[in-house]
C-alpha cells in the first residue's frame, strides 16, 4: 500500500508506475483505492463509475478497469456534502458528518471488492487517500491505516520534496501513527527530487536513524511528465512556438471530468487554459463549457461572473463555443431539476444558444459508447456520465454523433450544432482522444493545418517513461523483497 504525507504527494502516480513495472515483468497486477474523492471519473465496461486515477492505473497495469478497483467514490456537490457511489452506482447524497458515521458499514463492501480483485491477479498495489496522519478521521478510517489493518498489508509512505519540508512531513506523519500502525511501514519514498543526491544523504541518514525506517527510494523530478491527474488541475499554461489557437475552458466550481481537455493542453498547436473570469476570454478562438457535478449551481456561478455576456460577445466576434455534458445542457434553453438531484428542486434558464431542454432524472446515464462523427464518418469511442435527459426543441437541427450503446442494442444521435455552426454541444466524453475527430474539431475551431497528434500513443509513452525512471530508483526485485519481508499480523 502506498500512503502519502499529504494529498498530491505522488500516491496515484507511484501506483501507476508500480502497476506498469510489474506488468512489464509479466505479472498480472491491479490497482485498488478503497475511497476516492474526485469529480474526475471514468465508466467501466459494466457501466459503473470509478475515480479517473484508477482507470489510468488500470491502463498502466494493461487491464480493463472495474468497479472493484475503487469501491467507494465521493463526488463533492457542496463544501460539506457529496454524492456517494458504491461499486459504481450512486446510493445518494450525504453530508460529511453523516458519511463519517456511515463508513464502518462500507468497510465490508471495500474488503469484498478487494477479495474479488485478488481472484484474478498476482499483485495489488493499493493507494491511500490524503494522509494517514489525519487523526480526526482515524476512528472510522477505511482509506489509510484502517484499511491497511483490515487487509493486513505493508505500507510505504511517499512525500514530495519539491514542496519543501519533506523531513518534517515524513517525521510528522510517522509519529502520529499508533505503535501497531508504525509496524506496517516498511519504507519511505522521497518523490520529485532535483539536484545532487549526495546533498540529500545526510538528511536521509538522520531520518533513518531517528525513525528506524529505511528510505527505499528517491524518485527524481521528471520534467514535463504527463500522467492524467486524479482531480487537481494544473493551471500552469503549456505553450509551444507552434500554437495556432487559444482555447479557454470555464473552470467553474463543480467542474467535472476536466481530463477531457488534457489532449488540448499538450497538443503542440493549442494554447489551452482553464479560466474563471470574463476578461480571461479575451482573444479566445474556442470557449469550452465542460461537465459539472452541479449544473444549475455552476450555471448560476457562470452568470454571476458575467461569463454569459462574454460568451455571447465572443460569438459576435466570430468565436466558437463547445459544451460537453453539463456544459452542453447549459447551452440549451432550460435545465429542470424537479427531484432535487443535484441541488434544490427548480428550473434554471440556460444560455439559449442551442434548442435544447434538459430534465435531471433520478437514474444516471453511465455507459461506454462507440460513435461515428457525422461530419466526416470518423469512428470514436467515449463514454456518457450524466443525470440529465435532453430533448431537442426544434426540427431540422443537425446532430454531431451517431452513437451505439455498447451495453445494449441501441443506436441514437447525440449532440447539436446551431445554424451557423459556431456553437456545438455533446454528451460524449473522450471525443478528443481519437486523432481524426480531434483534428476535425481543431479545424472547426480555426487551425489552418492540423499536425497529427496521437494522444493515446502519447499517454502510453508517458506511462512507460514514468515506469522506467521509477524502476531505476526502486528496482522490481527490491519491491518484491519489501513485500516478502513483511510479516502479516493476522
Under a CB-based contact definition with an 8 Å cutoff, are residues 369 and 343 in contact? no
Reading the block at residue 75, the C-alpha cell is 463526488
In whole angstroms, give the CA distance from residue 154 to residue 49: 28
Residue in the structure block whose three cell numbers are 500522467 = 227
- Neighbouring-strand partners of residue 382: 369
Compute the chain's Rg from CA coordinates.
23
Our answer to whether residue 429 is catalytic in this structure is yes
What is the Cβ-side half-sphere exposure of residue 164, based on CA atoms within 13 angstroms?
Answer: 0
DSSP structure string for 415-449: -EE-TTS-EEEES-BTGGGSHHHHHHHHHHHT-SS
- List of residues 6+ apart from 82 with CB closer than 8 A: 37, 74, 75, 76, 93, 94, 96, 99
What is the Cβ-side half-sphere exposure of residue 202, based on CA atoms within 13 angstroms?
Answer: 1
For β-strands 2-4 and 155-160, DSSP reports them as parallel
The residue from 258, 267, 314, 429 that is catalytic is 429
In whole angstroms, give the CA distance from residue 442 to residue 271: 12
What's the start-to-end Cα distance of the chain, in Å?
A: 17
The residue from 169, 314, 325, 386 that is catalytic is 325
In whole angstroms, give the CA distance from residue 387 to residue 427: 11
Among 446, 52, 430, 53, residue whose Cα is nearest residue 261: 430
Positions marked active-site: 325, 429
Amino acid at each position: 500500500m502506498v500512503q502519502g504525507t499529504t494529498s498530491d504527494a505522488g500516491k496515484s502516480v507511484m501506483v501507476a508506475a508500480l502497476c506498469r513495472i510489474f506488468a512489464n515483468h509479466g505479472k498480472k497486477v491491479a490497482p485498488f483505492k478503497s475511497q476516492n474523492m474526485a469529480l474526475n471519473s471514468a465508466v467501466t465496461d459494466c457501466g459503473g463509475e470509478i475515480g479517473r486515477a484508477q482507470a489510468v492505473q488500470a491502463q498502466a497495469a494493461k487491464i480493463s478497469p472495474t468497479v472493484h478497483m475503487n469501491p467507494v467514490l465521493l463526488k463533492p456537490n457542496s463544501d460539506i456534502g457529496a454524492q456517494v457511489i458504491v461499486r459504481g452506482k450512486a446510493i445518494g447524497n450525504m453530508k460529511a458528518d453523516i458519511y463519517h458515521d456511515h463508513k464502518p458499514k462500507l468497510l465490508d463492501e471495500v474488503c469484498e471488492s478487494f477479495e474479488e480483485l485478488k481472484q484474478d491477479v498476482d499483485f495489488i498495489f493499493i493507494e491511500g487517500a490524503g494522509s494517514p496522519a489525519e487523526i480526526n478521521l482515524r476512528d472510522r478510517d477505511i482509506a489509510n491505516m484502517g484499511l491497511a489493518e483490515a487487509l493486513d498489508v505493508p505500507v510505504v509512505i511517499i512525500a514530495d520534496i519539491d514542496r519543501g519540508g519533506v523531513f518534517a512531513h515524513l517525521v510528522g506523519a510517522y509519529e502520529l501513527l499508533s505503535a501497531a500502525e508504525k509496524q506496517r511501514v516498511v519504507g519511505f519514498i522521497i518523490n520529485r527530487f532535483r539536484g545532487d543526491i549526495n546533498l540529500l544523504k545526510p538528511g536521509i541518514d538522520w531520518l533513518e536513524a531517528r525513525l528506524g525506517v529505511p528510505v527505499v527510494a528517491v524518485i527524481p523530478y521528471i520534467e514535463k511528465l504527463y500522467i492524467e491527474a486524479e482531480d487537481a488541475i494544473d493551471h500552469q499554461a503549456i505553450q509551444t512556438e507552434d500554437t495556432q489557437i487559444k482555447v479557454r475552458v470555464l473552470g467553474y466550481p463543480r467542474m467535472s471530468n476536466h481530463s477531457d481537455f488534457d489532449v488540448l493542453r499538450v497538443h503542440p498547436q493549442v494554447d489551452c487554459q482553464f479560466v474563471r473570469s470574463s476578461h480571461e476570454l479575451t482573444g479566445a478562438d474556442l470557449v469550452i463549457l465542460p461537465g459539472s457535478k452541479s449544473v444549475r449551481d455552476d450555471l448560476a456561478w457562470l452568470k454571476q461572473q458575467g461569463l454569459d455576456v462574454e460568451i455571447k460577445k465572443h460569438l459576435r466576434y466570430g468565436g466558437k463555443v463547445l459544451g460537453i455534458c453539463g456544459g452542453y445542457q447549459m447551452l440549451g434553453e432550460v435545465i429542470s431539476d424537479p427531484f432535487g438531484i443535484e441541488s434544490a428542486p427548480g428550473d434554471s434558464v440556460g444560455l439559449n444558444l442551442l434548442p435544447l431542454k434538459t430534465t435531471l432524472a433520478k437514474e444516471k446515464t453511465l455507459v461506454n459508447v462507440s460513435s461515428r462523427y457525422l461530419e466526416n464518418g470518423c469512428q470514436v469511442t467515449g463514454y456518457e456520465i450524466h443525470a440529465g435527459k435532453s430533448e431537442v426543441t426544434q426540427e431540422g437541427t443537425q446532430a454531431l454523433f451517431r452513437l451505439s450503446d455498447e451495453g445494449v442494442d441501441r443506436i441514437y444521435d447525440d449532440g447539436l450544432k446551431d445554424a451557423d455552426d459556431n456553437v456545438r454541444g455533446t454528451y460524449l466524453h473522450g471525443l478528443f482522444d481519437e486523432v481524426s475527430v480531434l483534428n476535425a474539431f481543431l479545424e472547426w475551431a480555426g487551425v489552418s493545418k492540423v499536425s497529427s497528434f496521437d494522444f493515446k500513443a502519447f499517454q502510453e509513452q508517458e506511462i512507460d517513461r514514468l515506469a522506467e525512471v521509477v524502476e531505476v530508483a526502486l528496482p522490481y526485485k527490491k519491491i518484491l523483497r519489501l513485500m516478502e519481508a513483511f510479516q502479516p499480523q493476522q
